[in-house]
A and B are shown apart, each in its own frame.
Chain A
Amino acid sequence: MIELQDVSKAFGSKEILRGINLRVESGESMVIIGGSGTGKSVMLKCVLGLIHPDSGTILLDGEDVEEAERDPFLAKFGMLFQGGALFDSLTVWQNVAFRLLRGSLKRPTEEARAIAIEKLRRVGLTADVADQFPAELSGGMQKRVGLARAIAAEPEVIFFDEPTTGLDPIMAGVINELIREIVVEMGATAMTITHDMTSVRAIADKVAMLHNGKIRWTGPIAQMDDAEDPYLSQFIRGSAEGPIEAVR
């Protein structure tokens, strides 16, 4: 279980998070929605310890993430980055098996390669891409490799940062389905940030809307369309009219 209690973060005079309270149960798929620049990525990075919040507490299974020992703590996480964030200098299988080739989860090279190829198959890629470099792959294939890397060490928690950004609708649909299948299959806790409503409906058990540094609304996906929050309604409809200011 992940719990954020009154988490705030500012960069200089700009307040990004202003007292976030959110709870994600184990095995649950929580999708955070909100406009660009509302602090979704900052929130995710605070949970991972990439950014330290100015105040508030973040708990993972009841343990304060700021006090957790870094290596075992990070071993519980997998993350799919918005642009893939694959390492250019490594081949595809070395990217996928990165965690399995070094550190506390190190395995023999052949075993790590076999696991990497198995994970690549799981995301719909054949073994012949294993020895290619990321730059040789299309955007959709890079996303799949990123997904394979995120699940390679069988993490308890998986974060997805804008998983369908930059993909065509068909490939976006494939990635959404893969995410849903993998999360259910692994029983992992998932936190996804996106503003793609198709992704939200495909991936989410629960939805939280972030606006102006605060959680505006949170609830099960089934209740999202009927919710009366005007901010949420405007966001779902994608309308320029409403309480959220749109710059034209």
Chain B
Amino acid sequence: MSFLANIGAATLGFIAVIGRISIFAFQTVSHHVRPPFYPREFVHQLMYIGYLSLPVVGLTALFTGGALALQIYSGGARFNAEAVVPSIVAIGMVRELGPVLGGLMVAGRVAASVAAEIGTMKVTEQIDALVTLSTHPMKYLTVPRVLAATLTLPILVAIGDIIGIMGGFLVGITRLEFNAGAYMSNTIDFLETGDVVSGLVKAAVFGFIVALMGCYHGMHSGRGAQGVGRATTNAVVSASILILGSNYILTEVFFSA
């Protein structure tokens, strides 16, 4: 009986967390369209979340594109299909690996730091101080971060896609003896607008998820160093799981037909 009770309690707890996150997400979206706005905070977050994440996303894409070219060449060689390397690298990067790996890398960097920063602010009463200074914490802390992440991740992923395809190209012409012109032409010919758009939409959704999870767990951080540490871990884990889950749903929406 206690076994069933434990399962019931865990299920109810899980549903309660989903409810709280949904309400938090709804409130965040509603605050996006209601003044006051904090443009200076937004610009600061654009720099921090967008510009400073570029090296991480770029390096991830470069190595992934290179490894993908090697894998596809090696697999394709089993049925004489080595020529598909450029098109599969491009489609794989733009549709899946660019947004998903970019999202996961930004989750590791941004969700963790946002949760730690806001969690520390909560523990040291800085959030209470914001309220007493007539500033809504959600407008001042959450909205600029969520908006900045939602807008910058598609740009980061677009740059990451180009770098990833270049990684595949470099491996293709240096290690796999592809002709440079033919590789580029194959890449461009097979890539469709829908592939790029679907990847960028995914990136925007992942950006929203990353910042939302960072802010949610920071705002709900427990007391002390342990509370902030737990909030940081939960932010990264939940953002990563939600990115992978929503990636499947978005893939169904875009490509199931």
In Å, the complex CA distance between A149 and B129 comes to 10
Asked if B193 lies at the interface with its beta carbon under 8 angstroms from chain A, I say no
Given the known interface contacts A82-B125, A87-B126, the answer about A48 and B36 at a Cβ–Cβ threshold of 8 Å is no
| Contact residues in A for B131 (Cβ distance below 8 Å) | 48-50, 74
Q: Are A79 and B134 in contact (CB under 8 A)?
A: no
Supply 18 further A-B pairs (C-beta < 8 A) apart from A79-B129, A86-B129, A102-B135. A48-B132, A49-B131, A50-B128, A74-B131, A74-B132, A74-B133, A75-B134, A77-B132, A78-B132, A83-B125, A85-B125, A85-B126, A85-B128, A88-B126, A99-B134, A103-B36, A103-B134, A103-B135
Could you give, for residues 61-90 of chain A, a 1 whenever the CB lies within 8 Å of some chain B CB and a 0 otherwise? 000000000110011011101110111100
Cβ < 8 Å to A, chain B residues 103-162: 121, 124-126, 128-129, 131-135
Q: Is A93 an interface residue (CB 8 A)?
A: no
Residues in B whose Cβ lies below 8 Å from that of A79: 129, 132
Asked if B190 lies at the interface with its beta carbon under 8 angstroms from chain A, I say no
Complex Cα gap A77–B133 (Å): 8
Give the interface residue-count category, chain A. 20 to 34
Nearest-CB residue, chain A, relative to B125: A85
Check A104 for interface membership: any CB of B closer than 8 A.
yes
B254 is an interface residue with CB less than 8 A from chain A: no
Q: Which chain A residues lie closer than 8 Å to B128 at the CB level?
A: 45, 50, 81, 85
Whether a CB of chain B sits under 8 angstroms from the CB of A98 is yes
Q: How far is the CB of A113 from chain B (nearest CB, A)?
A: 15
Q: B140: shortest Cβ distance to chain A, in Å?
A: 9
B128 nearest CB across to chain A (Å):
5
B14 contacts A by Cβ under 8 Å? no
Q: How many residues from B make CB contacts under 8 Å with A?
A: 13
Q: Are A98 and B125 in contact (CB under 8 A)?
A: no
Residues of B within 8 A of A87 (CB): 121, 126, 129
Q: Is the pair B125, A70 in contact by a Cβ cutoff of 8 Å?
A: no
B248 contacts the other chain (Cβ, under 8 Å)? no
Q: Are A70 and B124 in contact (CB under 8 A)?
A: no
Where the two chains meet, the residues of A that have a C-beta atom closer than 8 Å to any C-beta of B are 45, 48-50, 70-71, 74-75, 77-79, 81-83, 85-88, 98-99, 102-105, 149
Which one, B38, B121, B133, contacts A99 given CB within 8 A?
Answer: B133
9 CB contacts below 8 A, A to B, read A50-B132, A74-B133, A81-B128, A81-B129, A82-B125, A85-B124, A85-B128, A87-B129, A103-B134
Known: A83-B124, A85-B124. A104 touches B129 (CB 8 A): no
Taken together as a complex, chains A and B put the C-alpha atoms of A70 and B133 apart, in Å, by 11
Q: How far is it, in angstroms, between the C-alpha of A88 and the C-alpha of B120 when the chains are bound?
A: 10
**Shortest beta-carbon distance from A149 to chain B in Å:** 8
Chain A binding surface SS class: mixed
- Closest CB in chain B relative to A95 CB, distance in Å: 9
The CA of A70 and the CA of B128, in the complex, are separated in Å by: 14
Please name all residues of chain B whose beta carbon is closer than 8 Å to the beta carbon of A45 when the two chains form the complex.
128
Flag B169-195 by CB within 8 Å of A: 1 or 0 each: 000000000000000000000000000
Contact between chains at B125 and A81 (CB < 8 Å): yes
Q: Are B129 and A85 in contact (CB under 8 A)?
A: yes
> For the complex, what is the distance from the CA of A50 to the CA of B121, rounded to whole Å?
15
A127 to B139, CA, bound (A): 31
A150 to chain B, nearest CB (A): 9
User: How many angstroms between the C-alpha atoms of A48 and B128 in the bound complex?
Assistant: 10
Count chain A CB atoms within 10 A of each CB in B124, B128, B134 and give the residue with the most: B134
A105 to B135, CA, bound (A): 12
- Within B20-59, the residues touching A (CB, 8 Å) are 36, 38
Name the CB-closest residue of B to A87: B126
What residues of chain B lie closer than 8 Å to A103, measured between beta carbons? 36, 134-135
A65 to chain B, nearest CB (A): 13
Question: Which residue of B has the minimal Cβ distance to A78?
Answer: B132
The 8 A-B residue pairs with the shortest CB-CB distance, nearest first, are A85-B129, A85-B125, A74-B134, A79-B132, A81-B125, A99-B133, A85-B126, A103-B134
Contacts of A81 in B (CB 8 A): 125, 128-129
Cβ 8 A contact of B134, one of A70, A83, A86, A149: A70
Within B201-245, the residues touching A (CB, 8 Å) are none
Residue of A nearest to B120 (CB): A88
How far does the alpha carbon of A102 sit from the alpha carbon of B133 in the complex, in Å?
Answer: 10
Considering the chains assembled together, what is the distance between the CA atoms of A125 and B52 in angstroms?
A: 35
Q: Is the CB of A98 within 8 A of B124?
A: no
On chain A, the residues within 8 Å of B135 by CB distance are: 98, 102-103
- B125 and A102 within 8 A (CB): no
In the bound complex, CA of A74 to CA of B131 (Å): 8
Q: Return chain B residues, CB-CB under 8 Å to A48.
A: 131-132
CA of A98 to CA of B133, assembled, Å:
7
CA of A45 to CA of B129, assembled, Å: 11
